Amino acid sequence: MLFNSYAFIFLFLPLVLLGFFQIAKISHIWAAGWLATASLCFYGWWSPAYVALLLASILSNYSLGMWIVKASEVKRKRRILVVAISANLLLLAYYKYANFFLDNLGSLVDVPLILGEIILPLGISFFTFTQIAFLVDTYQGKLKEYNLIHYTLFVTYFPHLIAGPVLHHKEMMPQFARPATYRFNYENLAVGISIFIIGLFKKVIIADGLAVYVAPVFDAPAAGVFPTFVEAWGGVFCYTLQLYFDFSGYSDMAIGLSRMFGVTLPLNFDSPYKSVNIIEFWRRWHMTLSRFLRDYLYIPLGGNRHGKLRRHLNLLATMLLGGLWHGAGWTFVVWGGLHGLYLVINHAWHTLRRSFGQDPSQPVSHLSYALSVLLTFLSVVVAWVFFRATDLHSATVLLSAMFGGNGFELPDHWQPKWGALGDWLATHGASFTPQHGLLPGGAINWIWICLLVVWFAPNTQQIMASFKPALEPVATPAHRLLWRPSLSAALLLWGLGFAAIINLNRQSAFLYFQF
């Protein structure tokens, strides 16, 4: 079941909301059980065969967590933790990486090795990481709540289950234990619906609108077609923006849905393309995954505690594994490695600036700020080529076209429109030729409009700052565009919602569902 589907919006969500608050009048724990059961049904709509796997994972991890709590010796606690984490990682490795590793091993020994088709359980990366964090924090004595129903709800909670955010028990389980969560609140419902509609519009109208320009360009290399300079850049820009609005839309919808139930989620997306460097980008993009990788991988590896070289190696290792978390393929490994390299360069640049007595977090001028945002954005764009490409060959073909490997071919109809500039470009290496038709003309307009929104418009959290939409405080509220109850606001919301709903017939899954 998709958030952007008629069945979810007009059947599942109203029934679950009504049942939750009606049952809560009788018993809070029964209401939590109702919501957990509904979340399992939501999951089962996608993967009925794997509901049992999810339940087994929940019961096993909860039992192991309680075993850690009751163990009297530190060594015994550590042994249980190692076994528990290993079991989770082995389960994830089997479903997500077994054939990838066997295929590569088979290539090395020149013997075909394959287990057959293994269907990836939906959301396994998210619920595995969520429960590993629970186990580690249990070992460290941070666990304050032990209720099995609340734990089941914490793992299965449908607004986050399929594509995040990666939840932390200390953020969620106290909310499930709080009596106020189970009291219906009109403001929570109104704020939740508002944020959900904004996210739905981003997904259905913008992200899905961009999607039609992406596949032809990324599929071209496999068909033996070499995109032109403009087609390659246009297709990659469209994917960059499609992924942005798809993930931003999902994150808004998850926060909005949860708010309807009186539960506040952590922020997972905060205008990452406005970042002035890659360090900031990873503080704004998939924020809860970045937090998990930092707390449960980078810091245990040593973090920055053992010198600059060790820190750089830890960054590279963390990002390589973060890339592999996204998918079993060399394209994801290269994508993670690129971001690891970006981070190493970024930290080295900060060290150099500090040596000159400068504050590395502050650009020296408005021009340097704009150039920093542009450089960071273009670095991310280049890395997205590997993230989206079906294989390394397709990625290298696209990158070659983007950097002039096929010549600087511009659409022939641009030259007369550009006048003297077109003539100058034609005499300085550019050629104006017919394109392959991979990128319809409307794509360029989409790109410019979306870039203006991405760079200059406030995000949903800033607009809704008065209502504290996420657990994290909003650093810079959109004072001129703060959301206030009014007729004009209601009409605008109605318009956004209507536009999205009448286009649900072309529904598509969120891009992060595949991870």
Q: Which residues contact 82 (CB under 8 A, 6 or more apart)?
A: none
- Neighbouring CB atoms inside 10 A of 315's CB total 23
The catalytically annotated residue of 168, 326, 339, 347 is 326
Distance CA 7, CA 313 (A): 48
> Do the Cβ atoms of 15 and 7 come closer than 8 Å?
no
Q: Which DSSP state fits 119?
A: P
Tell me whether residue 29 is exposed, middle or buried, using C-beta atoms within 10 angstroms of its C-beta: 0 to 12, 13 to 18, 19 or more: middle
- Rounded to an integer, what distance in angstroms lies between the CA atom of residue 119 and that of residue 514? 11
| Tokens linked to 399 | 């990158």
* Catalytic (active site) residue 326: yes
DSSP E strands, 105-252? none
Distances (CA, A) of 363 to 101, 116, 275: 44, 53, 12
Measured distance CA(147)–CA(124) in Å, rounded: 23
- Residue with tokens 């010549």, as numbered in its chain: 407
DSSP 3-state assignment of 432? strand
Q: How many CA atoms lie within 13 A of 153 on its CB side?
A: 27
Q: Do residues 414 and 432 touch, judged by C-beta distance below 8 A?
A: yes
The beta strands (E) that lie in 360-452 are given as: 408-411, 430-433
Q: Strand pairing partners for 432? A: 410
Please, which residues bridge with residue 410 across strands?
432
Q: Which value, in Å, is the radius of gyration of the alpha carbons in the chain?
A: 24
The residues that are catalytic are 326
